[in-house]
Amino acid sequence: MSERFTKGMARNIYYGGGAFFMLLFIGLTVDTVTALPKRENRDKLTAEVAQGKALWEKNNCIGCHTLLGEGAYFAPELGNVYTRRGMGDEQAFKAFFNAWMKAMPSGAEGRRQMPQFNLSEQELDHLADFLIWTSRINTNNWPPNVEG
Amino acid sequence: MKYASQNIAKPYFVFALLLFVGQIVFGLVLGTQYVVGDFLFPEIPFNVARMVHTNLLIVWLLFGFMGATYYLIPEECQCELYSPRLARILFWLFAAAGTLTIIGYLAVPYARLADLTGNELLPTMGREFLEQPTITKLGIVVVVLGFIFNVGMTVLRGRKTVVNMVLLTGLVGLAVFFLFAFYNPSSLTLDKYFWWWVVHLWVEGVWELILGAILAFIMIRTTGVDREVVEKWLYLIIAMALISGILGTGHHFFFIGAPEYWLWIGSIFSAVEPLPFFMMMVFAFSMLKRRRREHPNKAAMTWAVGTTIMAFLGAGVWGFLHTLAPVNYYTHGTQLTAAHGHLAFFGAYVMIVLSIISYSMPILAGRQANSTAAQKLEIGSCWVMCIAMLTITVLLTVAGAMQVSLQRLPESGDALSFMATQDKIAMVYWARLVAGAAFGVGVMMYLASFVVASLTHRQAPQLTVAI
């Protein structure tokens, strides 16, 4: 490296650049946090949806599935499972979801197995509410198709 | 070894390697479950094995970073560690907390673990990589704060160098950003947004400072190149890491509900993220070329130079491959992410920890380097692990490409379902499992090199004055 470029200059780029971009990041974060309530329909984020999210976490669903593309890649994406399986009908989706959860594990030999989580009727309802709410978040049009 | 307190690094390194072995065992379990779906079901479901695999990785890397710090801080500061006793107490505390958490994952269903540890009081569990019970997270905070206090007091007392200041900054950043793990709002998008403040700002931010500092230390010690030159490089590398990496966080905000402008910001800045890794590689080779001494520890040099190459490939090339928003739209959440994750973590962080272990363990045992026989085996293990991990990466990339073409690109109706696509990929997953087993062989060779080193210690160059 050229001798005219000193260690002091490198240090200033580090501290100056780091601080500048961190501040810019915080500024953009403020803007994002302000924009989120509309993009995710926070007015529809009911106590039931919140309860559903808590159940999602308590049973470590992310350990196999993705949600909005994040998580493990062992089982299907669930951010749009309402679109895929419910086809716009909340009651139909809930009936499907309830039956699905109760039928697990399938026990089919050699196939990937989903554990039985023994959730109550009310818990299953809340979990479904959470997945329905999630499917309506404005995700810049992701995923590309219904298969997730 | 110059300072008696450097010895405290040893238990940290030994425990780190123990957890590394555990991580690989569970990696093989996961690889098997990908092809034999009901393997070990219901005793160890996939989600449990995955949590053990990823959490072991994070914890052993933290042990490695701590060991590295305890080793290099006294030498950089030219004084003994502030409190070796505190370092020893924190070691046992962290080891106990880590072990209990892993036992908890394996012994009871996750929901029961949440109940047992009072998760409802401050719910933080059940998010990827942050699955630890809240009480474990609090334990991590206590351990890290005690650790930073100990290191900070040492630096205050001793010589301040660029290496120890950058390292300390990285460690403080690690502690600060971990605090976002305690923020878990019921809004999923907010939750995900700030979850990345832990995950991305760790691995593509402050961890790079730690990596840079350890690498700079090894380069100064093994090549004998003037400290001024190394330090200038270090500043430039980490400057680029932060300049690209902070706003580069935006590449995770594309599709989780955050505003559209992140598509642009995330794409542009994360496209620059390979640069610091490229510079690291140029740095390592240029230091080698300008070296003023021949250090007898060839194994450590191999690991250190290998780190920069594999990190550039994993974090740089494989990151860039899918970081632009229009590409990521189709690849987001496919096996391509797993491909990048494996090579980046291995190349950057696993290899830098193995580098410092390789450099310091012989010295802590009173040798300048291990015997030629031991080094040969260790260098062999490095090659086996690197080639196996590259193979895993290429295979997962193929799997990801198949997912994109079968499941993502076609219109709804024509696209295959997730599980139908997985069936089509089965052969690739089998090949990945074989590559995983080869990686396991590399780990065994690596461990065996310690045995050979101890059996042949009489043939090793002994420590005189210089290190």
pLDDT along chain B (467 residues), means of 10: 94 98 98 98 97 98 98 98 98 98 98 97 98 98 98 97 97 98 98 98 96 98 96 97 98 98 98 97 97 96 98 98 98 98 98 98 96 98 98 98 98 96 98 98 98 96 70
Of residues A121 and A4, more confidently modeled: A121
Under an 8 A CB cutoff, do A63 and B36 touch?
no
Q: Has residue B208 been placed in a domain? A: no
One domain for residues A124 and A65: yes
| Confidence at residue B467, expressed as pLDDT on a 0 to 100 scale | 47
Section A99-109 average pLDDT: 97
Under an 8 A CB cutoff, do A14 and B332 touch?
no
Q: Has residue B240 been placed in a domain? A: no
- Structural domain for A31, as ranges: 1-40
Evaluate whether B314 touches B247 at the Cβ level (below 8 Å): no
Q: Has residue A141 been placed in a domain? A: no
CA distance A91 to chain B (A): 23
One domain for residues A88 and A15: no
- HSE-CB at A84 with a 13 A cutoff on CA atoms is 19
Q: Has residue B75 been placed in a domain? A: yes
What is chain A's length? 148
Evaluate whether B62 touches B178 at the Cβ level (below 8 Å): no
Is the pLDDT at A52 greater than 80? The verdict is: yes
CA distance to B118, B191, B411, per residue, from B127 (Å): 16, 9, 31
Partners of B367 in beta bridges: B462
One domain for residues A33 and A91: no
One domain for residues A68 and A118: yes
- Closest residue to A145, CB basis, from B50, B228, B415: B415
- DSSP H or E stretch at residue A70: strand A70-71
CATH of the domain at A111: 1.10.760.10
Query: pTM for the full model?
Result: 0.97
Q: Has residue A74 been placed in a domain? A: yes
Q: Is the peptide bond before A76 cis (omega within 30 degrees of 0)?
A: no
Section A92-105 average pLDDT: 98
One domain for residues A72 and A99: yes
Q: Has residue B8 been placed in a domain? A: yes
**Number of structural domains chain A divides into:** 2
Residue of B nearest to A133 (CA): B188
Name the DSSP class of B463. P
Maximum separation of any 2 CA atoms in chain A, in Å? 72
Decide: helix, strand or coil at residue A77: strand
| Confidence at residue B465, expressed as pLDDT on a 0 to 100 scale | 56
One domain for residues A32 and A51: no
CA B288 – CA B286 distance, rounded (Å): 5
CA B455 – CA B372 distance, rounded (Å): 12
| Confidence at residue A70, expressed as pLDDT on a 0 to 100 scale | 98
CA B219 – CA B231 distance, rounded (Å): 10
- Structural domain for B77, as ranges: 1-159
- Closest residue to B128, CB basis, from A1, A71, A143: A71
Q: Has residue B266 been placed in a domain? A: no
CB pairs under 8 A between A and B: 229
Section A98-120 average pLDDT: 97
Evaluate whether B278 touches B209 at the Cβ level (below 8 Å): no
One domain for residues A121 and A52: yes
For tokens 């070691």, name the residue.
B91
One domain for residues A35 and A54: no
One domain for residues A33 and A61: no
